[in-house]
Structure 1
Amino acid sequence: MSAVASVVSLVELLRGNPGSCRWTGGLSPVDLARAERELGTPLPPSYRCFLAEVGSCEVDGTDFLGVYRTPAMGDTLLGTVSGTLDARTDPRFPPDLLLIQYDGMGGLVCLDLSRRDRAGEAPVVVWDPGSADRGGPERLAADFGSYALRQCTQALTRGG
């Protein structure tokens, strides 16, 4: 299954489990372009699809930052945009990573844009301040779509 097809399946999974899944709502094309501009890079196709369809989500305790706004923060793009920009203030954080999730153990789950495939997809990796000493971030999946679908499916299986 392609990475984008995995996101389509994820959206179906979310809609089919309204009691266990919450999402903020898809981003407009204007906000997607703004997120890419603020991050300084085009988003991988599956993550862009996720943002356009879902925005951000939580599935039975598994959170994906996505991109969203809150009334208190006004026009600020939160989630991946603010989290990545904040992480980039740490000189150890590789500049080609985009934060998509916190792993709950001090690691940042990211898309590694330095290793895009022919389709523009980026592998999912986990980074922490000691990653460089271990040879770099650990690879978790080939792309966002397959990773997110697997994580959310597992969360629903554990919760149900």
Structure 2
Amino acid sequence: MNPIEAVHRVSSLLRRYSGFAHATEGCDDRAISRTESRLNVRLPPSFRMLMRSAAGFDIAGREFLGISGTEAGRFDVVSETEFARSIGMPGSLVVVSLDEPEGMAALCTSVVDSSGECPVVHWNPTMETAAEAAPLATDYGAYVLSGVLEAVGYWDARESATRDDRAPDSDTRRRVRGDGDVRSGAG
């Protein structure tokens, strides 16, 4: 699946799971351009496309930063990237999620493929260069789709366990027929 298809799938999942996905409204190209200017980077096409439909979101507790803050966390790529840069993050990285263990996920805008996409890497304040950052995904579309699917899978498993806890056990589902014969199902 290419990065743009992945972002389309994410948008679809956000609509499908709107009960526990909180997304801000999308933004226009001017807002994206202002963000690029402020951070002195070119954002990849997949990130730009998702920002047009959801300029930041969280789903099942997993937060993805965007052009504007999310309802849950009020964080955005500009403020988080500027903060991370103030503590040593290289200027070519743009923070897109704070949900990575012991660090954050960032677009590595110094490595761009022929379609304009760049990898997502794990960065923490002990790293001095972008080259030290460990790869998380080949592109933003793959990263965000993987994170959303993980969050949705967790939520679905939790909901399934809750339903199973409420479901009658197999003995309760059996019906005792008038003749004392215990049978499952309708009789």
Could you tell me the TM-score, scaled by structure 2's length? 0.76
Q: How does 1:1-160 map to 2 (within 5 A)?
A: 1-68=1-68, 79-90=76-87, 92-132=88-128, 136-160=132-156
Work out which of the two has the higher radius of gyration on C-alpha atoms and give 1 or 2: 2
Provide, for residues 30-65 of structure 1, a one-character-per-residue CA deviation record: whole Å limited to 9, x for no partner: 211111111112211001111111100101011001
Deviation at 1:130, TM superposition (A): 2.1
Could you tell me the TM-score, scaled by structure 1's length? 0.88
CA 1:19/1:78 → structure 2, altered by over 3 Å: closer, same or farther?
A: closer
Whether the 8 Å contact between 2:42 and 2:109 is mirrored in structure 1 is no
> What letter matches 1:112 in structure 2?
C
Gaps of 5+ in 2: 157-187
Whether the 8 Å contact between 1:20 and 1:156 is mirrored in structure 2 is no
Provide, for residues 122-142 of structure 1, a one-character-per-residue CA deviation record: whole Å limited to 9, x for no partner: 101010122349x60110100
| 2: CA distance, partners of 1:131 / 1:157 | 32
| 1: CA distance, partners of 2:60 / 2:69 | 21
| 2: CA distance, partners of 1:140 / 1:104 | 10
Superposition RMSD on alpha carbons, in Å?
Answer: 1.9
| 2: CA distance, partners of 1:96 / 1:67 | 17
Gaps of 5+ in 1: 71-76
> What letter matches 2:42 in structure 1?
P
CA 1:45/1:78 → structure 2, altered by over 3 Å: closer, same or farther?
A: same
Deviation at 1:96, TM superposition (A): 0.4
Three-state SS of the structure 2 residue aligned to 1:46 is helix
Number of residue-to-residue matches in the alignment: 152
